[in-house]
Amino acid sequence: MDLTSEIAQQLYDGDADGVARRVEQALEQGLDPRQVLQQGLLAGMGRVGQDFQAGELFVPELIVAARAMHAGLDRLRPHLAAADGDADATVVIGTVQGDLHDIGKRLVGIMMQGVGLRVVDLGHDVAPDRFVEAAHKEGAALVGLSALLSTTMPMMRATIEALREAGLPVRTLVGGAPVTRRWADEIGADGYAPDAVAAAALARELLR
């Protein structure tokens, strides 16, 4: 097995120390950091996402894989910046105002990083103007909104309206247990995803 495939496998197994070691080894051997990222970290995370959607992996496996990916990314990042001036597209995510549910949105963040996006997570109970401010400041191309309660879903509409009014060139993606495609269409969101892996794939598609 070559080094990048080993990295992908260790990431899949959630072996953070192993991934960090192998990434360093790969860099020492002069491998292109972009290749280590694409064929190692992102390929491994891609398999995790696939198996998660297929019902073979679950949230705990997703979390350990994400931690392993971060261990690798921490080693890789300084070299990536040197190799390639282009930053990845930025996504701002958060749970809308009035809602403290955080877990699903955190998983979405993990999977978005897993497809190579830069994620700024604003946390929970995020007011529309904070989304607008962060999207502007971070130069976001996409804003992801989460809600777990029927009571807080209307804040998705308010947030999308605020982003429009601010004239920001961002696309929007919504999700959360009670959220449906119909609701997404009704409030004018650009996309809806039923789970974290689908959200990450859709984010990539919307940003293409």
Partner 1 sequence: MNGRQRAMTAIEHHEPDRIPIDLWAEKTTLSRLQQHFGAADREALLKRLQVDLRYVMGPSFAGQQFRQLDDGMVQDHFGVIRRPMTVEGVDRTGHAWSWTYRHVHLAPLQAATTVKEIEHHPWPTAQMWDYGAVEAECHAARETGCAVVSGGDRLDRTAQLKPATYIRGLEQFLSDLVLQPAMAQCLLEHLVTYYLEYNRRVFQAANGAIDIFFMGDDMGTQTGLWLSPRMYRKFFKDNLRRFIDLAHEFGIKVMYHTCGNVTALIPDFIECGLDVLQSLQPAAMDLEALKREYGAHLAFQGGIDIQSTMPSGTPQQVRDEVAHRARTLGPGGGYIFCTAHNLLPDVPTENMVALFEAYLEHGGYWPNPPRCSR
Least distance (Å) between residue 30 CB and partner 1: 31
- Rounded Cα distance, 165 and 89, in Å: 22
Task: Please name the residue that has the structure tokens 């996504």.
Answer: 91
Least distance (Å) between residue 84 CB and partner 1: 30
- Rounded Cα distance, 199 and 192, in Å: 7
Least distance (Å) between residue 78 CB and partner 1: 25
CB within 8 Å of 68: residues ≥ 6 apart: 10, 11, 13, 14, 15, 16, 18, 19, 44
In sequence order, what are the beta bridge partners of 93?
Answer: 121, 144
For partner 1, the closer CB: 70 or 136: 70
For partner 1, the closer CB: 36 or 162: 162
Least distance (Å) between residue 117 CB and partner 1: 20
Q: Which residues bind partner 1 (CB under 8 A)?
A: 14, 55, 57-61, 63-64, 67, 97-100, 103-104, 106, 125, 149-152, 154-155, 177-178, 180, 194-195
**φ, ψ for residue 92 (rounded to 5)?**
-100, 125
Q: Residue 199 in contact with residue 108, Cβ under 8 Å?
A: yes
